[in-house]
Amino acid sequence: MSYDAYFIVTGGAGLIGSNLIEELNQRGHYKILIVDHLGSSEKWKNLTRLRFLDYIEKDTFIKSILKGRTLIGSPDFKYANFIHLGACSSTTETNASYLIENNFHYTKILCEYAIQQGMRFLYASSAATYGLGEFGYSEDNLESLKPLNMYGYSKHLFDLYAHRRGLFDKIIGVKYFNVFGYGEAHKGDMRSVVLKGYEQIKNTGKLSLFKSYHPNYKDGEQKRDFLYVKDAVKMTLHLLNLETIYEEGGLYNIGRGIAETWLDLAHALFKAMGKEPNIEFIDMPDYLKPKYQYYTCADMSRFLSTGYSRPFTSLEEAIQDYVNLLEKEV
């Protein structure tokens, strides 16, 4: 990417979006249009550390596109890199109509617009599309997947849409696995266990984890592919940087390919905070039991075949870095 490149980043005030823009700033990119919905949350605070050209609320943005208006007064802007990270990411959201409109139809409109304007288009899918993982965690199993919640299904719908219409010849999709890091405080109940646990340990001296209701997993030994947000954004920009990958497009897992337990995370968190582990196991809410993923682990072979060579941040190193950033806020 040249240093006069333009970027549109939807969800730019969110966890991944704000960290991605911060990384772009560090690489010398400032011609950035941020699109988001700030509402009454504290998400706006993520914008204060960023440099960008303009900010537009998502409703204004989509209306401008549908009316064919110019987004920024530059003839070069139509050649922007379009990074679509904006979505309702609540795995407990029950308003299916809202999720379809916000996560599926909105993405279709933006994708069509980007293609028409000659932009590179990269969008965020999710590991939630894999459901229980009974069909594995390879990007090739799209038609077989059965997401466990409506959020995952809304993401899966666009993956299927792009696949069935041959759009992956032109666009890039990324399936993020359990991303955590600085900039997620606004997410409420959707904050990572790292941040929830940090606050809980600060306030009570202990950490609560859900009991296991699966015979193959003991309490705390449910596994996730945890990914530090700093790695997630570098991996995302790696795909956007590769002209050959853009020309071919494709759907890529964004994880580490390593499954670690909640106990691994908990012990790393206590260590980072300089405290002895004090863990209790609590009942899982009934509504969550049938939708709970006991294991996730990205198949990283497709992504690694693109030549990505940066080392991944270990879970322990990532949590220590995250805690250091949180402590600076105090």
Is 294 catalytic? The answer is no
* 16 within 8 A of 124, measured Cβ to Cβ: yes
Among 155, 175, 187, 230, the active-site one is 187
Question: Six-digit token pair at 53?
Answer: 């050209």
Paired with 207 in beta bridges are 279
Q: Where are the alpha helices (DSSP H) in 10-165?
A: 15-26, 58-66, 96-99, 106-116, 150-164
Q: What is the dihedral of CA 176, 182, 187, 193, to 10 degrees?
A: 80
Question: Six-digit token pair at 1?
Answer: 């990417």
Among 113, 123, 137, 151, the active-site one is 151
DSSP of 110-137, one letter per residue? HHHHHHHTT-EEEEEEEGGGGTT-TT-S
Kindly provide the residue ranges of all beta strands, DSSP E only, lying in the chain, ordered along the sequence.
7-10, 32-36, 54-57, 81-84, 120-126, 172-176, 179-180, 207-210, 223-224, 227-228, 250-254, 260-261, 279-282
* 279 within 8 A of 209, measured Cβ to Cβ: yes
Is 123 catalytic? The answer is no
Positions annotated as catalytic residues are: 151, 187
